[in-house]
Amino acid sequence: MNVAIFYFSGTGNTRMTADTYADLFRRAGHQVTTSSMEDCDQVGECDLILIGGPIYAGNMPDYVIQWVRKTVPPSQGTKAIIFTTSAGLANAHGVRSIGKKLVRKGYRVIDTQTYEMPRNFYIDKYAPTPKEEQRQQLTRMISQVGESLTNLKETGEMTFPENVLGIDLLADVFRIMAKSMGHNFHIDDSCVGCGKCEKNCPKANIRHAEKRYGSSCMMCTRCIHGCPVNAISYKGKKIEQYKVGN
Ligand SMILES: Cc1cc2nc3c(=O)[nH]c(=O)nc-3n(C[C@H](O)[C@H](O)[C@H](O)COP(=O)(O)O)c2cc1C
């Protein structure tokens, strides 16, 4: 089977989950391609498509929703799996939003999974996930991917009867809020000028030489967690950086 995996990942949790899927599919003898949505504006033919992203404010980021709308072509029954990663399972509705869109495009959604992963968003009111819990979550994610692939044959075709307008509106509102929240980031004088924040920003929103953020932040927090010298603060506060898998 030809498996094509597409994901967006701000800080690495979703990428690691996508890589785990790829690894287990390959071990089962399938051909697999893995692409970040940032680098991909075309989806070719495949037997199974996987779409993955993090949860922001209860849904997949608007970035993922728009990518799926624009980039995933109509199909006549290609199988699909949708997965999200989030800091908690209670309000993680992203698989329903993307599921509905894929079914409308003619895909047969055969599985959805939500993976509880370390929190990357603690720049404001939340606390980071403790290290031991992080390790347990990563181990659990790997076995959950394994179980979901083992059970695939028994999973029937899924339907998404519920209205997703409300959660998609939430994603759109968060997209707008993120633009102004992004102005709370600040690059201080400990910056060594490596340009990593600018190069890696999915929205090309940072000018590191001018220590300036523009108005298209999506709040993925990749800049703050990825800075090699922790030179970026949020609302004047530095945080312990989250490094995937540490
Ligand atoms: C802007 C933002 C909003 C978030 N909102 C939620 C949320 O509503 N619920 C939740 O469980 N996790 C939330 N999270 C945590 C992430 O979904 C979680 O850490 C995810 O695994 C990050 O994936 P990534 O490393 O691939 O970017 C949020 C993270 C960010 C950056």
- What is the set of domains in the chain, with CATH numbers? 2-164 (3.40.50.360), 171-234 (3.30.70.20)
When the pLDDT of each residue in the chain is averaged and rounded to a whole number, the result is: 95
Is residue 220 in contact with ligand 1, taking CB distance under 6 Å? yes
Does the structure show a pLDDT above 80 at 219?
A: yes
Is residue 213 in contact with ligand 1, taking CB distance under 6 Å? no
Tell me what pLDDT residue 117 has: 97
Tell me what pLDDT residue 98 has: 97
Atom of ligand 1 nearest to the CA of 115: 21
pLDDT digits (tens, 9 = 90+) for 43-76: 999 999 999 999 999 999 999 999 999 999 999 9
**What DSSP string runs through 191-244?**
-----HHHHH-TT--EEGGGTEE-S------HHHHH-TT--EEETTB--PPP-T
pTM, two decimal places: 0.97
Is residue 55 in contact with ligand 1, taking CB distance under 6 Å? yes
Tell me what pLDDT residue 121 has: 94
Q: If we measure between CA atoms, which residue out of 23, 10, 8 comes closest to residue 141?
A: 23
Is residue 84 in contact with ligand 1, taking CB distance under 6 Å? no
Give the confidence band of 245 by pLDDT, cuts at 50, 70, 90: confident
Does the structure show a pLDDT above 80 at 144?
A: yes
pLDDT digits (tens, 9 = 90+) for 81-140: 999 999 998 888 999 999 999 999 999 999 999 999 999 999 988 899 999 999 999 999
- Residue of 86, 89, 144 best suited for mutating to test ligand 1, as the one with most atoms within 8 Å of CB: 86
Give the Å distance between the CA of 94 and the centre of ligand 1: 11
How large is the average pLDDT for residues 201-220? 96
* CA-based R_g, the chain, Å: 18
